[in-house]
Amino acid sequence: LSLSGRPLSLSFPMGRTVKKAGKSKSKKGKGTKKADASSSAAAAVASGPAKVWQPGVDALEEGEELQFDPEAYNYLRGFSIGWPCLSFDVVQDQLGLVRSEFPHTLYGVAGTQAEKAPWNYIGVFKLSNINGKKREPIPSSKVDADSDMDSDSSSDEEEEEETNEDIKPILHLKKVAHAGCVNRIRSMTQQPHICATWGDTGHVQVWDFKSFLNSVADSGPVAHKEDDIIHNHVPLKIFNGHKDEGYAIDWSPLVTGRLVSGDCNSCIHLWEPSSSTWDVDTKPFVGHSASVEDLQAYH
């Protein structure tokens, strides 16, 4: 699941290539056969691994443009919950850890970056009926792959047309009002319905989305008009002890409910669970000399 501009994109990847823009023109007349032979030989040599473009390392040459290869994915589709999203997280479910057969179902949460602060919300969603095609990551042999290339490509095109036209994913969405833009959102591993958000207002909030997740889980095959309603929901905890907004936040994978949050003013606060709330240490960790961009909890 990835963020790309405005919509979210769901993909099951299997490469990136750099492609020259435009097509080169071949000369006609004397020596055409020789040119064709040399070009075919060059094509044979160029049949090795495609060049992988590294962001921040490689620069595009004049006339080059990045092209994505749909064949690199078992499934690729974009969807939107309304406003652009700056952060999202996958919510763990009880459908099994190993799911290799289509169709798939996915639960998630995403926070918006709306044009005006009062318009922001958290999207609690279920994406179901995700259909794609399962392919082997590596062909059994290059000879078999080459011999079956034509037949596979034609059958793949037919399958893609059928998938695109007849089998579409179903998005069920519940919107929960959020004060300001959602810089980061994270779902707790042990209790996935508990989520924490970092807002551009400088507040860190903890939410219980169990009722909304149950609602989308029980939804039928058709999305309801209620999906456009923005629900007012009271967070379990609001912490305003940070001196600036931030983006870094993470749940402990070992201690249920333990949370850390870091801000752009170099401070990190530790949250410890206490009955139905959290005790946040008002004295932050101050080892950083600049903005805390990300956190990863291990204990």
Mean pLDDT of 37-62: 61
Q: Within a domain: residue 97? A: yes
For the chain, what is the largest distance between any 2 Cα atoms, rounded to a whole number of angstroms? Answer: 86
Q: In this predicted model, what pLDDT tens digit does every residue of 76-118 receive, in sequence order?
A: 888 899 999 999 999 999 888 888 888 889 999 999 999 999 9
Mean pLDDT of 126-136: 81
Instruction: Grade residue 166 by pLDDT with cuts at 50, 70 and 90.
Output: low
* Domain boundaries, position 219: 53-133+166-241
Whether the per-residue pLDDT at 211 is higher than 90: the answer is: yes
Instruction: Grade residue 56 by pLDDT with cuts at 50, 70 and 90.
Output: confident
Q: Within a domain: residue 253? A: no
Q: Within a domain: residue 112? A: yes
Distances (CA, A) of 119 to 5, 82, 177, 195: 19, 11, 8, 20
Whether the per-residue pLDDT at 263 is higher than 70: the answer is: yes
**pLDDT, position 291:** 96
**Residue 12 near residue 130, CB atoms below 8 Å:** no
Instruction: Grade residue 243 by pLDDT with cuts at 50, 70 and 90.
Output: very high
**pLDDT, position 65:** 81
Look at the chain and report how many structural domains it folds into.
Answer: 1
Whether the per-residue pLDDT at 52 is higher than 80: the answer is: no
Mean pLDDT of 114-136: 89
Q: Within a domain: residue 86? A: yes
Instruction: Grade residue 70 by pLDDT with cuts at 50, 70 and 90.
Output: confident
Q: pTM of the full predicted structure? A: 0.74
Mean pLDDT for all residues in the chain: 80
Q: Within a domain: residue 35? A: no
Q: Within a domain: residue 228? A: yes
Q: Within a domain: residue 113? A: yes
